[in-house]
Structure 1
Amino acid sequence: MGTAGLWGTITAIPMNTEHLLTLTQWLSPAYPIGAFAWSHGLERAVQRGDVANAAGLADWLDAVLTQGAGRSDAILLCAAHGADDVEPVAELAAALSPSRERRMETLQQGAAFASTTRAVWALDLPDMAYPVAVGRAAALMGLPVVPTAQVWLQSFASNLMQAAQRLMPLGQTEGQRILAGLLPVCAAIGEEAAQSTLDDISTASFAVDIASMQHADQYPRIFRS
């Protein structure tokens, strides 16, 4: 069964074991992209009191995924997966960054992902924004787009959760409970993104974007964004 989208009919392709293991390797915290150094503005949000407890963090992560970079980057990932020429998608991804630090976050992680993936899998994968690099690599390796987007979203949320645990009193179990609550969100956004066009990209996460702008002047700090 398939669904109609930007790239024609999207067919539900079962993920084989090799695809699954490749995807989980790419999006593991062990993959050397330096994700641990970035908080996506969360450090500033915690410092100014916008995120002060588990409930506030859950709301903040949900907003990032549904109204912020989570959804827009998932669309960019899917667009890169289906594009014959990925360069315009990469240029758009870089241009959409709302702050200098967020631009550095996506471009530097993307370059690190591309460098390692080129070296290990010998792919023709230039340096570009992180979601675009992942989408392009998945296409070159034959990984299906929907689960790639869904696992990428979960990895994004997981990295922000790890940042939160360095910034505020948040137990490991409570953190995993929040991530488990976000699984349906990641699944739904991944499905939607695969049926979206670049014209569908929009964000309404103003507090998150402002936090990322203000973070540049925050001192002391432990994250790069």
Structure 2
Amino acid sequence: MHSTALLRLLQLASPSLPIGAYTYSQGLEAAIEAGMIKDEGSARACITELLSVAADFEAPVLWRLLKAFSARDGAAVTRWTECFAAARDTAEFRAETIQMGYSLGKLVIELKIADDSLLNILSSQPEIPLPTAFACAAEALAVPHEAALLGLLFSMIENQVLACVKSVPLGQVSGQRLLLSLHPALEAAASHAQRLEDDELCNWAPGLSLLSMQHEVQYSRIYRS
């Protein structure tokens, strides 16, 4: 990958990107509260399972959105945007992706990195979940699709690892060791997502949905999901 594209991807996937990713744990806080995550090994097992869920739905939807924005196919962008938003099966998960997508979409506009054709497609969406905004930003910044897919998956698990470091708690070294150990699973998830046909996409994850619903009424919590 060209150095310019790499630098742009690093900025897009950075935890310092002002879209509020650090305020969400994507169900991990409830798993920690329930005692499902108590050390590095159990954190790795849980995050790997969450990654496999993303590989079956969120990642392949992002892959299709990247292709759609590249082709300037507004109808395809709308189709997969609506599909992803409809698949968020708890109030927390829906609020999370819409808030982060709105923030990233606003950033794309304010940074003036996208051409009119991309902006018109983005602004025509009634709601903008995170994968839609991320795909638009990646296309605007000329980030290769394979790299953009890995970038979003990495930022997702990095955020989950940081949640474990803060809340289990795990030490910083343990957190970095955990993150390194997840690299093969990340590569496998990205590869899997690119091979799925439309009728193979699936967001079936009842355990994760239950954790999210439990978190919505959890008495003491730090994260918004």
Q: Could you tell me the TM-score, scaled by structure 2's length?
A: 0.88
SS at 2:29 equivalent: helix
One-letter amino acid of the structure 1 residue matched with residue 88 of structure 2: S
Q: Judge conservation of contact 2:63–2:194 (CA < 8 Å) in 1.
A: yes
Report 1:1-225 matches (<5 A): 15-66=1-52, 68-83=53-68, 84-85=73-74, 86-123=77-114, 124=119, 125-126=122-123, 128-225=128-225
SS at match of 2:89: coil
Distance between the aligned counterparts of 2:56 and 2:4, measured in 1? 27
Deviation at 1:197, TM superposition (A): 3.4
Q: CA deviation at 1:113?
A: 1.0
- Cα distance in 2 for partners of 1:117, 1:132 equals 12
TM-score (norm: length of structure 1): 0.88
What amino acid does structure 2 have at the position aligned with 1:63?
A: E
Evaluate the alpha carbon distance shift between residue 157 and residue 216 of structure 1 in structure 2; reply closer, same or farther with a 3 A threshold: same
Unaligned runs of 5+ in 1: 1-14
User: Alpha-carbon deviation of 1:26?
Assistant: 0.9
How much has 1:194 moved relative to structure 2? 2.5
CA apart distance, 1:156: 0.3
Q: Contact between 1:93 and 1:132, CA under 8 Å: does it hold in 2?
A: no
% same residue: 31
CA RMSD, Structure 1 to Structure 2 (Å): 1.5
Deviation at 1:196, TM superposition (A): 2.6
Comparing 123-132 and 93-102, the one that deviates more: 123-132
Residues in 2 aligned to 1:172 and 1:103: alpha-carbon distance in whole angstroms: 30
C-alpha displacement at 1:53, in angstroms? 1.2
**Residue type of the alignment partner of 1:198:** D
The number of residue pairs the alignment matches comes to 210
- The answer to whether the 8 Å contact 1:76/1:198 transfers is no
> SS of 2:57's equivalent?
helix
Deviation, 1:147, is 1.2
Comparing both structures, which one devotes a greater share of its residues to helix? 2
Q: Which runs of 5+ in 2 are unaligned?
A: none
Find runs of 4+ consecutive structure 1 residues off by over 3 angstroms.
none
Check conservation: 1:72, 1:201, Cα contact below 8 A: yes
After TM superposition, the structure 1 stretch with the greater mean CA deviation from structure 2, 78-87 or 57-66, is 78-87
Q: In structure 2, the residue corresponding to 1:61 is in which secondary structure?
A: helix
